[in-house]
Structure 1
Amino acid sequence: MTSSSISDPFPQRIVCLTEEPTEVLYALGEEHRIVGISGFTVRPPRARKEKPKVSAFTSAKVGEILALKPDLVIGFSDIQADIARELIHAGIEVWISNHRSVEGIVAYIRRLGAMVGAYEKAEHYAQRAEAHLAQVRAAAAQLSRRPKVYFEEWDEPIITGIRWVAELIGIAGGDDAFPELAREPLAKQRILANGDAVVQRQPDIILGSWCGKRFRPERVAARPGWDAIPAVRTSDIYEIKSPIILQPGPAALFDGLDAMHALIVDWAKRQG
């Protein structure tokens, strides 16, 4: 069924304010419904060539969005509340998802698929994701040791990893260094007063993904007192590209998880 089908009761003109709905809809073969995307979208690569970019993450070109005459706008989290409010005032239907866990990402795939009349395809895709998670979890269970992993989402101020990242670290074979903070939904609630807390947790691996800028392992290693951290002493400091880990969508469940698992496996092999 195409977007021109009068009998299609599902949204025909969707604007995606973040990457994950774009990635899901393309994966389901429903990309013809998308009329606008986020400028931060990199997955799938063809989306950037095919769809107009009408938003950042905290701002949007509302006039351009309205000109596209969307029948549904999809965004994520409280950070996009102001954009959503403006669009709702203009009479646009808006869905703001707010999932923060691995289970939530899988449920999001199913929910979005149902919203566009592609439930069966979404169910198949969700089951693929669940199977991949189970496969990596089983492989991780065979590791001789589990490293303590510190994930840094931002450097100034220092912000630790969000819940789905912490959960994926666990599935990949590691133990998150700040599990008590991972449950906090807002970034401001995961700010560390200083780097001393990381030194005290003694992580074996440091992973970084500074949203919007390149992660600099050498700057991390040079922080005062961090030479006492095992990960710094062994140079186990790595970047996980933000498009595959900081978006609560399929990329994190596949590429992000695989990237972390590969690093953890390598670390475990070196432990003898």
Structure 2
Amino acid sequence: MKQFIDQLGITHTFDSSPRRIVSLVPSQTELLYDLGLEDRIVGITKFCVHPYHLKSTKKIIGGTKNVHYDKIRLLKPDIVICNKEENTQEMVEELRKICAVWVTNIVTIEDNFRMITDFGQLFDKRTEARKWNDKLAFALSDFKKFINDVPVRKVAYFIWKKPYMVAGSGTFIDELLKLNHFQNHFASKERYPEIELDRMEEEGGLDLILLSSEPFPFKAEDGYEIVKSTDKAQAILVDGEMFSWYGSRLLKAFDYFKYLHNSI
């Protein structure tokens, strides 16, 4: 018997490494694949699009907020992988009636390193996890050198329309904004607050409006409407996966961030 503690502090006991995995978080599905666990993944969400072929080889059990419990039960999983932000507490409690539920909580880059280490231990992929953390640590150090001379810009990061919602503090997005020398205009608000466009400039001018590709797929025309409510801000479409996906995706994000800064 081995004991493991997830990022909510919950202790899990297993006789052996879990063999049948259901993943309810797209970025964590990608990480499991990159750790060499494709054969153990039996169920994923409809939003688990990387790598794309998994959608045709694994059972789709619903979305991240609504799943088909009967479909999951039929898969006879040893473990379900969830995330505190992506999945609801009610869902986690219901899934615990089926099998062990491992919940991650990723707010900082350090949390991301820990998640990868945890998965390496939990699934007997310690060497693969160490290699990924080493690659990420090297890429992070390299990016910090790149960003050192980049000026700080005040930004608002939009994630939704009707109502307009932005990323606030206590989010992984906010962590990556800070890493990019982007001062979050809404850092005084927690999580994902709804905002009114006509009040955006109350706390000082904005330099950039970042319009994410997910969960709402913003288009260029959306930027025109938002920019009208600011003094001089520039609207830019950004890849939401690079700012909100954690796990192994972060390696690609560092190169994307360099490209983004060079194009501003």
- TM-score tier by shorter-chain length is 0.7 to 0.9
The code of the aligned residue for 1:167 comes to: E
Contact 2:147–2:181, Cα closer than 8 Å, also in 1: yes
Equivalent position of 1:246 in the other structure: 244
Poorly superposed stretches of 4+, deviation over 6 Å = none
Identity of aligned residues (%): 24
Equivalent position of 2:157 in the other structure: 151
Equivalent position of 1:22 in the other structure: 29
Match of 1:65 among 52, 72, 77: 72
Q: TM-score, normalised by structure 2?
A: 0.83
Contact 2:159–2:215, Cα closer than 8 Å, also in 1: no
The code of the aligned residue for 1:150 comes to: A
Equivalent position of 1:48 in the other structure: 55
Are 1:263 and 2:263 matched, yes or no? no
Contact 1:152–1:210, Cα closer than 8 Å, also in 2: no
Larger strand proportion of the pair: 2
Q: Deviations over 1:187-243 (max 9, x none)?
A: 3xx222x12343344222221225343212322322484252332xxxxx2222333
Question: Which deviates further from its counterpart, 204-213 or 8-17?
Answer: 204-213
Question: How far, CA to CA, are the matches of 1:202 and 1:261 in structure 2?
Answer: 24
Question: How far, CA to CA, are the matches of 1:25 and 1:128 in structure 2?
Answer: 16
Contact 1:148–1:205, Cα closer than 8 Å, also in 2: yes
Match of 1:167 among 175, 178, 183: 175
User: Offset of 1:249 from its aligned partner?
Assistant: 2.9
Number of aligned residue pairs: 246
RMSD over aligned CA atoms reads 2.2
User: Offset of 1:257 from its aligned partner?
Assistant: 4.0
Question: How far, CA to CA, are the matches of 2:252 and 2:236 in structure 1?
Answer: 15
Question: Which deviates further from its counterpart, 107-116 or 170-179?
Answer: 170-179
Change (3 A) 1:217 1:198: farther
Equivalent position of 2:91 in the other structure: 83
Question: How far, CA to CA, are the matches of 1:225 and 1:199 in structure 2?
Answer: 11
Question: How far, CA to CA, are the matches of 1:202 and 1:74 in structure 2?
Answer: 41
The unaligned stretches of length 5 or more in structure 2 are 1-14
The unaligned stretches of length 5 or more in structure 1 are 1-7, 232-236, 268-272
Equivalent position of 1:112 in the other structure: 119
Q: TM-score, normalised by structure 1?
A: 0.81
Q: How does 1:171-210 map to 2 (within 5 A)?
A: 171-181=179-189, 184=190, 186-187=191-192, 190-192=193-195, 194-200=196-202, 201-209=204-212
Contact 1:77–1:97, Cα closer than 8 Å, also in 2: yes
Question: How far, CA to CA, are the matches of 1:209 and 1:224 in structure 2?
Answer: 15
